[in-house]
Structure formats: structure tokens, C-alpha cells
Amino acid sequence: MKIFKLFFLMLFAFIFSTVLSVGANIPLDATFLAVGGTYLLFSLSDMPKGVAFFNFADLDWEDGAKNMGGLQVTGYFAPISHFDNIPKLYAAPATAAQEVTLDSSTTGFTFKAGKKFLKLYLTMETGVVEDEPQGEIDGQSFVHKATVIYPGTKPAALAFAAQVNNSNMLFVFIEADGQRRVIGSEAFPAKCKPKITTGTKTADRKGMTLEIFSYGYTPAPLYEGDIDLTA
């Protein structure tokens, strides 16, 4: 492959050198060597391994922009084993936003026959998604965390706690502004720690606190595709 690449590059260099030498009154052989050598160097040199190009951009803030905190009261979940396809981060992100967004441009989350996303109700103003750095210098990544509260200790809540306690999961939570955050992936499924309490006093909270965590190179990624609620 490099032979063909070299041939066309040298042909281009010869044509370009001819034009340049005529216009600038420089000997053709000197011009050809300079132009051809430069193209040859760049064409046969591989990019240094480990070099990454990030889409850094201005981090401005629009005056008066809306910035409500918290999560909406409906989230979504499914066991990893129920998915037929789980989108990954863009392989070649063109923007800063794509660096932290799952690529659903071709296919989003899809499920095996009879499976779908399930709804998870969150008590208002009890849900939170947090991203914490972990690791040593030159080896840092993120822990994706979510904590939500589901009210009551009915059989459905107790059964859910038993089911997710040792299962590989994926969750989608929606911020107040509609931005969707995903916790869990094929590589690092979401793990859950459900805690049930009846409360002590009549005014105490009674229900399930669900602690969720996963890992990734970015904060919990965004998702812009469909959320399938039909089996």
C-alpha cells in the first residue's frame, strides 16, 4: 500500500516542482528534491503511538442560561444480557460533544426479542448522578455514580433489590434539562447496592436507596437516541 502511496506522492511532487521551478526560476532538480523529500517524509512516517487529539474548545457561559439541577422522576434500566446492541463512544469524535456522547447515529440501544427498557420511578429531588476521578497521575479515569430513592417496601421493590444485587445492569437517567446520562456499558456494567429501610419514626423515609456505579474514561456519557419501551 505504501508503494502506491509513494508513487502518487512523488508524481505529485514532480508536477508541483515543475510549476514551482518555472514560476520561481529555481532549478527543477533542487525543487523536486525539496518538495519530494518533504512529502516522502510525511507519507512514510507513522503518527507517534499514544498521541491523542482532543477537540478542545472555549468553555464559555451564556449569561442568563438555565441550569436547573437534579434528575427527572423517571429513569430507565435493563440488564446487560437483554441488549442486542449497546452503542459506544464515537471512534473519531469531530466535536467536544461527541467525545462524551454514545454514537447512536447508526444504531442506538437495541434489544433481544421480547426485551426492552424498563422504567424506574425516582422520588423527586432524591436522585443524583456524579462523576468522580480515580487513579494515579497519567492513569486517571472516572467512576460514574448515581443514587436514587424508590419509595416503599412493597414486594415489587424487594424483588427488584434482590434481582439487581448481583446483576450486570445499564441505567439511563435524565437531567432536569432533558440531557440523558448513561451508567453502565458492555465493558463495565453498572453494579448496584440496594438498601431497604422501614424507617424508625412515622415521619421517617420508608423505601429503597439504590446506589449505582460503573467506570469509564469520560464522565457518564450522553445518549441522544431512542429509548425503546416496546418489546
pLDDT tens per residue across span 117-146: 999 999 999 999 999 999 999 999 999 999
d(CA 162, CA 164): 6
> Count of domains in the chain?
2
pLDDT, mean of residues 26-34: 50
Range of the domain at 7: 2-44
Q: Is 9 helix (H, G, I), strand (E, B) or coil?
A: helix
- Quote the percentage of the chain above a pLDDT of 90: 74
Domain assignment present for 180: yes
52: buried, middle or exposed (CB in 10 Å: 19+, 13-18, 0-12)? exposed
Domain assignment present for 56: no
Whether residue 97 is found in the same domain as residue 208: yes
Per-residue confidence at 29, pLDDT binned at 50, 70, 90?
low
Domain assignment present for 62: no
For the cut 80, the answer to whether the pLDDT of residue 33 exceeds it is no
Q: Is 107 left (phi over 0), alpha (psi -120 to 50) or beta?
A: beta
204: buried, middle or exposed (CB in 10 Å: 19+, 13-18, 0-12)? exposed
| Per-residue confidence (pLDDT) for residue 55, from 0 to 100 | 80
| Mean pLDDT across the chain | 85
| Per-residue confidence (pLDDT) for residue 11, from 0 to 100 | 54
Whether residue 171 is found in the same domain as residue 110: yes
| Per-residue confidence (pLDDT) for residue 46, from 0 to 100 | 45
d(CA 189, CA 222): 16
Domain assignment present for 63: no
Whether residue 102 is found in the same domain as residue 186: yes
Whether residue 25 is found in the same domain as residue 91: no
Residue count of the chain, please give it: 231
For the cut 70, the answer to whether the pLDDT of residue 62 exceeds it is yes
Whether residue 29 is found in the same domain as residue 80: no
Domain assignment present for 68: no
> Which uninterrupted H or E stretch holds 171?
strand 169-174
Domain assignment present for 230: no
Per DSSP, helices labelled H in the chain are 2-24, 28-44, 155-164
Global confidence as pTM: 0.77
| Per-residue confidence (pLDDT) for residue 38, from 0 to 100 | 43
Whether residue 11 is found in the same domain as residue 96: no
Whether residue 115 is found in the same domain as residue 202: yes
Domain assignment present for 60: no
Helix axes 2-24, 28-44, angle to 10 degrees: 150
What is the Rg, in whole angstroms, of the alpha carbon atoms belonging to the chain?
A: 27
Whether residue 20 is found in the same domain as residue 107: no
